Amino acid sequence: MSADVETITLPDGRVMPRAEFAAALARLTAPFPADQVEKLPKQLRSGDQDKGKCARGSNYSADGHYCGGWHARSMHLDYIGHAGITARLGEADPFWTWEPMGLTEAGTPLMNDDGMWIKLTVLGVTRYGYGDPGGKRGPNAVKEVIGDALRNAAMRHGVATYLWSKSEAAERTKSGAEEPAPQQAAPRAQAARPAPAPATPPAQADRNWKRELDATTDPDELVVLWADAVNAGLFVKDDGTPPELAFKARARAIAPDHNTPEEQA
Ligand SMILES: [Zn+2]
């Protein structure tokens, strides 16, 4: 048993015992305690001005959860706040970092459509994310953009991703059932976690994915579904492209104001 079987070299050059790396990944992707899971109302129709108190029995909830807030008819999505996400990244890797994807000539982060693309590096692996201001303006908008981008990119690293996925495995995690943790180190070097192989046959996985796509009302969730499809190779055509048409059609239905000319073709 030589030393390099028991250690792993991260893409950033750090050398880590395999068991420690596996534990860090497990901490990163572990389910959140129930009291850290918040409910975010997402209205079903983007222009809906009919708003009211989301009280028991009211029509402003579309899913039977009554948050007590004031909003148009909405679904309530589970989500983790920015503080919870940030704490989780630190628990998994004290050396995590993020940076904007680009800089302006003045050296400030480059914004796109009021939002920002970022690179989030955790355990030496860099993944992209996008944040938007969620309707906020001024300095608060920038903070919201940063927090949202971190949350979005962290999902790509597996943080709270189970909240967004309706796969059977994710449902088990969500409902608190035990899921095999990656305690055993893999035999080969795997700096990045491999895409989870779909447990269901491909045709069924395609249908499940499409059903999730049709059910989603959240642009963030769309992005995750897109990543899911790419990672799982769903619907992938011979040229390697994922189900772009179905995805764009759904994106238009959810956020018609995000249309771009080429999407209307
Ligand atoms: Zn509500």
How much distance in Å is there from the Cα of 10 to the middle of ligand 1? 43
Q: What is the pLDDT of residues 10-39, one digit of tens each?
A: 999 999 999 999 999 999 999 999 888 888
DSSP class of residue 110 equals P
Handedness of CA 103, 108, 113, 118 (dihedral sign): positive
Task: Determine the Cα–Cα distance for residues 59 and 212; give it in Å rounded to an integer.
Answer: 23
Collect residues with CB below 5 Å from ion ligand 1. 41, 54, 67, 69
For position 135, what pLDDT does the model report?
78
For position 224, what pLDDT does the model report?
67
pTM of the model: 0.59
How much distance in Å is there from the Cα of 257 to the middle of ligand 1? 24
Q: For the chain, which residues make up each domain, given as ranges?
A: 195-265
Task: Determine the Cα–Cα distance for residues 121 and 129; give it in Å rounded to an integer.
Answer: 11
Task: Determine the Cα–Cα distance for residues 228 and 213; give it in Å rounded to an integer.
Answer: 11
- B/e letters for 59-93, b = 16+ CB within 10 Å, e = fewer, are ebbbeeebbebebbbbbbbbbbebebbbebbeebb
Q: Which of 136-145, 152-161, 165-174 has the lowest mean pLDDT?
A: 165-174
For position 76, what pLDDT does the model report?
86
Q: What is the pLDDT of residues 169-217, one digit of tens each?
A: 666 666 665 444 444 444 444 444 444 444 455 666 677 777 777 777 7
For position 66, what pLDDT does the model report?
92
Alpha carbon separation from 30 to 10, 26, 73, 138 (Å, rounded): 21, 6, 32, 35
